[in-house]
């Protein structure tokens, strides 16, 4: 079959290349070759009759009420008929094909009267037998989008199809296409049977491959899981080892503390029972150190730290044993002196630092291994999930192959059942009464609509005469007469009659009767199609009543309604419109709307209304709002909507004007606009407040991020000025003294933003303890720190924190209204938010100075000196520069204390601190080392320069005149020792020791001198 189809297609292609046109009404489409290919694919040409197609043409004639119906296909040079009803024909020349034009359409092609159609009036079948007048065709469009034929309904009288008949014809056309597709599938399945065995073999091969891949995937997942579990076991062992090391380090630290505590208790009490905890702790330390060596055997870094820690522990134990020995031999005083040595503290700090470093290292390694374990576990889970998904995909593919095989077999079975039920479904779902009669008028079959109306099944009514069932009792003569006329005239007949439905109600039915003939031309069936027009006739009567009812409703409306002609003449006006100006219908009807009383008062208004009516006359819907006169000096505003109304030909027949009195609405709209403006102002104010609150929060965050009070004050001016851009002001704080408030941040006009310190009593806000507002410089109570003649308004807000007032926020403006109530409230909020932050910064600086400064001299203390010395040595070493220190001691200081008292000694130390601060550079560091000893650190200073500086300081101190309670202390001399890095050592301790040695030599050589180490 396929070979024959290809041969026919090739032959058609050759003909197409030679033939350029056809004679007659049909012409070849531009894609004729593709259309013919689609036709030949269906393998329908020259096939014997099939019941499915015959049933469709019979149903087509029944639904459309025509005597002739056919299914035909357009070949290259002929029209071939697959199924016919009402006539007998196999094929005819394509030149005579009536459905040629239908192939060029996408929808139903209808010719209501072929005798008046210019293209069909001269056709032989129109001018002679069979005298065709009506022709309706629906193209048969297959999957390729090509029209290969048509389903036709033909009648010998002119007629039209209603909407339901057209929709049914389209549905039947789609059913023909579906039959063609299924028929083609059945034919192609025949050749598929011959290839069934290889297809089954491929099917089972695919299933085997899919199941094999799924099994391989599961094996891979098992291998990955085994590897992951092994790795997790090893990581777990390492983590346990790290936890053991941490426990050992904590035990060593605890044992050291126990040993130290036991030592102090023994030295204090001398009881031997306190030595037992010490010996236990010492043994524990030795055991833990050995255990640590074993646990950290594979960690070189920890081994190095442990090798450093072990000698320190031994030194510390030796120091403890020495103290206990001194306690036994020389008493508690000698033993206590050993505990006060700097070396003991140094050993303890060093041991703690190394233990903490080792703990940090172990924690870092433990965290790194935990992260690696988490990453490996997550990767394994991802791999496992991917494998499961892949396995599911493979199994889904196997299932898909099986399901497709089953569905292909099931589709064939369903298609056959669907074709069987289709014809009956269309008949039963039709919304009209369909009755099939034999030539005697007896009922053979009826659709479901008839069964529902008569409350009888098709079996019960079969064999009964049509006029007995579908007429009122005693009125059977009318349908019987029409039946006899139908048989006599052999053409369709139409009439209206009455019958009873299942509820006993009388229904009016419009019947159309059609005869269906067999191939010999004899009457085989008669089709009676009835439509229930009871509602339609009732609707006509209701329409007349509703028209009057609508008129009454329009007159009862409070809205204005008018009916105009197309040129604007007033045809009708409701009572509300007439009563508005106390008019009668005779006063306005028949006049142009613009000439009526309502709008005749103004030519301008008349021109606007005329323009609106002209636009409506062009088919546009128009809204018009204008003032109408309703009395002497009385006007109302009417909102009119003009709507054009069309007749059956599409022309404007009249205009509906509906309007409403919007006078009160216009007034309400004006009030609403005013309210909206007020609401908009409130919204803008809320937005501004929200912005200010957000920026204030940002300001507090910035201040909290500042490290010093100076930094906060520098930043504060810019931040606060952004909140008050049109005002000037400043922030004043009590920083170093209780007597004055100093400006730390000012902005705006300099004369308004006072930049001088002032007494707290000069500000009324500080004296009152609450904000002080002045909006009149002449009458208001201005603060003394404000220039009295300048600000139009000013505000002072105290800064309070921890129940203490330590500053004030001042704002001023040269113009009134800048500091609105909202701005004043914002200023109070700013003060409340920044005050705690500034107080905390001030307190932080105070605490920091107390931690690194000596309270008596104001110099740095020994702790800061040690940190600074180490830092500066590293910096100088990095820059390849020297660093020198001067260690100095006040000569005969003990004599001053013993002779003049400690107050005199404190006075000497204070004056010496001031002197040293005046003789050091900004990069130098002056420290009080202890007692009367001081140290100067001079970064990047050579030994010679430092020696010269030492001599200058010694000479300057000799010139000091110190008094204590009015009594002169006398001349003060210094002994100084000078040492330099790296000449005298590479460690800070070595440099200090060298300077101390030089100082000792200066003391031995007679004091009042500077000696270089």
Active site (catalytic) residues = 932
Ramachandran assignment for 528, one of left (phi > 0), alpha (psi -120 to 50 degrees), beta (any other): beta
Here the tokens at position 631 are 């009395």
Q: In terms of C-beta density within 10 A (0-12 exposed, 13-18 middle, 19 or more buried), how is residue 808 classed?
A: buried
For 295, the token pair is 């646990």
Nearest alpha-carbon partner for 292 in 327, 247, 326: 247
Ramachandran region, residue 813 (left: φ > 0; alpha: ψ -120 to 50; beta: rest)? beta
Per-residue DSSP letters for 719-732?
Answer: HHHHHSTT-EEEEE
Identify the three-state secondary structure at position 627: strand
Instruction: Let me know: does 97 contact 119? Beta carbons within 8 Å.
Output: no
Cα separation, 280 vs 324, in Å, equals: 15
Residues 6+ apart with CB under 8 A from 170: 107, 108, 138
Long-range contacts of 644-649 (CB under 8 A, 24+ apart): 644/616, 644/617, 644/619, 644/620
| Three-state DSSP class for residue 821 | helix
* Tokens read off for 400: 């898909």
Token pair, residue 858, equals 């104001």
Helices (H), 296-341: 300-329, 332-339
DSSP line for 757-806? -B-GGG-HHHHHTS-EEES-TTTS---TTS-TTS-SEEEEEEEEETTEEE
Determine how many CB atoms are found less than 10 A away from the CB of residue 34.
13
Place of tokens 């420290």: 927
Query: Measured in Å, how far apart are the chain's first and last C-alpha atoms?
Result: 121
* Residue in this structure with the two tokens 């140290």, named with its chain if needed: 935
Q: Dihedral, CA atoms, 102, 108, 113, 117, nearest 10 degrees?
A: -40
In three-state secondary structure terms, 1005 is coil
54 touches 88 (CB < 8 A)? no
Token pair for residue 497?
Answer: 């009659």
Please tell me the distance from the alpha carbon of residue 984 to that of residue 49, in angstroms, as a whole number.
125
Residue 779 half-sphere exposure toward CB, CA atoms < 13 A: 2
CB-count burial class (<10 Å; 0-12, 13-18, 19+) for 541 = exposed
Helix (H) or strand (E) holding 499: strand 493-500
For residues 304 and 599, give the distance between their C-alpha atoms in angstroms, rounded to a whole number: 110
* Helix, strand and coil in the chain, % to nearest 5: 55, 20, 25
Q: What token pair was written down for 525?
A: 């069936």
Q: How far apart are CA 547 and CA 549, in angstroms?
A: 5
- The residues, any chain, with a CB within 8 Å of residue 603's CB and separated by 6 or more, are none
Q: Which two tokens stand for residue 168?
A: 């049914």
Q: Decide: 528 and 435 in contact? Cβ < 8 Å.
A: yes
């Amino acid at each position: 079959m396929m070979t024959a189809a290809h041969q026919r297609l090739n032959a058609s292609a050759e003909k197409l290349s030679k033939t350029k046109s056809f004679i007659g009404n049909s012409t070849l489409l531009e894609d004729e070759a593709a259309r013919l290919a689609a036709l030949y694919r269906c393998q329908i040409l020259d096939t014997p009759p099939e019941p499915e197609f015959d049933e469709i043409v019979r149903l087509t004639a029944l639904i459309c009420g025509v005597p002739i119906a056919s299914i035909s296909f357009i070949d290259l040079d002929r029209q071939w008929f697959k199924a016919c009803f009402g006539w007998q024909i196999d094929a005819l020349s394509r030149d005579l094909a009536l459905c040629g034009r239908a192939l060029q359409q996408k929808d139903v092609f209808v010719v209501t009267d072929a005798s008046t159609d210019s293209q069909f009036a001269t056709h032989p079948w129109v001018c002679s037998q069979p005298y065709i007048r009506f022709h309706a065709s629906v193209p048969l469009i297959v999957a390729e989008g090509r029209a290969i034929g048509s389903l036709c309904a033909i009648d010998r009288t002119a007629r039209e199809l209603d909407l339901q008949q057209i929709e049914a014809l389209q549905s039947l056309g789609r059913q023909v296409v579906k039959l063609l597709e299924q028929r083609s599938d059945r034919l192609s399945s025949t050749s598929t049977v011959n290839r069934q065995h290889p297809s089954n073999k491929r099917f089972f091969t695919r299933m085997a491959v899919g199941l094999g891949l799924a099994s391989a995937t599961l094996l891979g997942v098992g291998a990955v899981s085994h590897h992951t579990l092994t790795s997790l076991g090893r990581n777990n062992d390492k983590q346990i080892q790290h936890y053991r090391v941490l426990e050992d380090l904590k035990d060593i630290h605890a044992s050291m503390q126990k040993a130290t505590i036991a030592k102090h208790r023994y030295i204090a009490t001398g009881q031997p029972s306190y030595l037992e905890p010490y010996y236990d702790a010492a043994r524990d330390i030795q055991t833990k150190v050995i255990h640590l060596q074993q646990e950290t055997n594979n960690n070189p870094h920890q081994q190095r730290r442990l090798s450093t820690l072990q000698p320190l522990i031994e030194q510390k134990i030796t120091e403890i044993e020495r103290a206990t020995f001194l306690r036994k031999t020389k008493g508690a005083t000698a033993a206590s002196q050993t505990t006060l040595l700097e070396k003991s503290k140094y050993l303890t700090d060093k041991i703690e630092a190394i233990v903490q470093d080792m703990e940090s290292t172990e924690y870092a390694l433990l965290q790194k291994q935990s992260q690696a374990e988490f990453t490996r576990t997550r990767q394994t889970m991802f791999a496992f999930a991917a494998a499961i998904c892949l396995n599911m995909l493979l199994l889904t593919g196997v299932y898909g192959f099986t399901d497709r095989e089953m569905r292909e077999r099931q589709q064939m079975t369903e298609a056959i059942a669907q074709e069987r039920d289709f014809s009956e479904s269309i008949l039963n779902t039709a919304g009209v009464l369909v009755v099939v009669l034999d030539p005697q008028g007896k009922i053979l079959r009826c659709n479901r609509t008839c069964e529902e109306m008569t409350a009888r099944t098709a079996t019960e009514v079969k064999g009964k005469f049509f006029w007995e069932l579908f007429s009122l009792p005693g009125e059977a003569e009318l349908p019987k007469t029409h039946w006899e006329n139908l048989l006599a005239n052999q053409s369709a007949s139409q009439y209206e009659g009455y019958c009873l439905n299942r509820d006993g109600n009388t229904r009016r039915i419009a019947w159309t009767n059609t005869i269906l003939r067999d191939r010999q031309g004899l009457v085989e069936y008669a089709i009676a199609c009835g439509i229930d027009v009871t509602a339609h006739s009732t609707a006509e009567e209701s329409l007349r009543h509703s028209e009057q009812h609508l008129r009454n409703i329009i007159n009862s409306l409070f809205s204005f309604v008018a009916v105009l002609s197309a040129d604007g003449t007033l045809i009708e006006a409701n009572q509300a419109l007439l009563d508005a100006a106390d008019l009668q219908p005779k006063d306005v009807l028949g006049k142009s709307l613009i000439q009526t009383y309502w709008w005749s008062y103004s030519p301008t208004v008349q021109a606007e209304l005329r323009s609106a009516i002209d636009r409506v006359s062009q088919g546009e819907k128009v809204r018009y709002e204008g003032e109408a006169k309703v009395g002497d000096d009385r006007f109302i505003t009417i909102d009119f909507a003009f709507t054009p109304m069309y007749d059956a030909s599409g022309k404007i027949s009249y205009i509906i004007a509906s309007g409403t009195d919007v006078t009160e609405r216009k007034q309400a709209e004006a009030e609403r606009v005013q309210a909206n403006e007020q609401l908009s102002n409130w919204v803008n104010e809320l937005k501004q407040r929200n912005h200010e609150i957000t920026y204030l929060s940002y300001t507090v965050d910035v201040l909290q991020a500042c490290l010093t009070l100076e930094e906060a004050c520098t930043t504060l001016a810019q931040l606060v000025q952004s909140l008050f851009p049109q005002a000037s002001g400043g922030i004043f704080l009590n920083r170093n003294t209780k007597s004055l408030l100093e400006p730390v941040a000012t902005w705006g006009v300099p004369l308004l933003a006072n930049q001088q310190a002032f007494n707290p009593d000069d500000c009324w806000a500080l004296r009152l303890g609450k904000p002080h507002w002045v909006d009149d410089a002449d009458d208001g109570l201005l603060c003394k720190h404000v220039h009295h003649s300048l600000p139009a308004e000013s505000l002072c807000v105290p800064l309070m924190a921890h129940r203490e007032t330590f500053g004030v926020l001042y704002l001023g403006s040269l113009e009134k209204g800048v500091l609105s109530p909202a701005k004043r409230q914002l200023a109070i909020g700013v003060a409340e938010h920044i005050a705690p932050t500034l107080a905390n910064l001030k307190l932080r600086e105070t605490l920091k100075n107390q931690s690194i400064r000596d309270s008596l001299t104001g110099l740095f203390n020994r702790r800061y000196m040690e940190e600074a010395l180490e830092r500066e040595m590293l910096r100088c070493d990095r820059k390849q520069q020297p660093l020198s220190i001067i260690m100095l001691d006040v000569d005969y200081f003990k004599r001053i204390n013993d002779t003049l008292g400690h107050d005199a000694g404190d006075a000497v130390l204070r004056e010496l601190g001031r002197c040293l601060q005046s003789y050091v550079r900004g990069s130098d560091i002056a420290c009080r080392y202890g007692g009367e000893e001081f140290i100067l650190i001079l970064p990047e200073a050579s030994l010679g320069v430092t020696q010269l500086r030492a001599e200058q300081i010694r000479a300057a101190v000799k010139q000091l005149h110190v008094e204590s309670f009015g009594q002169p202390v006398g001349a003060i001399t210094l002994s100084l020792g000078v040492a330099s890095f790296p000449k005298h050592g590479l460690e800070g301790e070595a440099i200090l020791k060298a300077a101390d040695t030089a100082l000792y030599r200066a003391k031995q050589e007679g004091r009042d001198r500077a000696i270089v180490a």
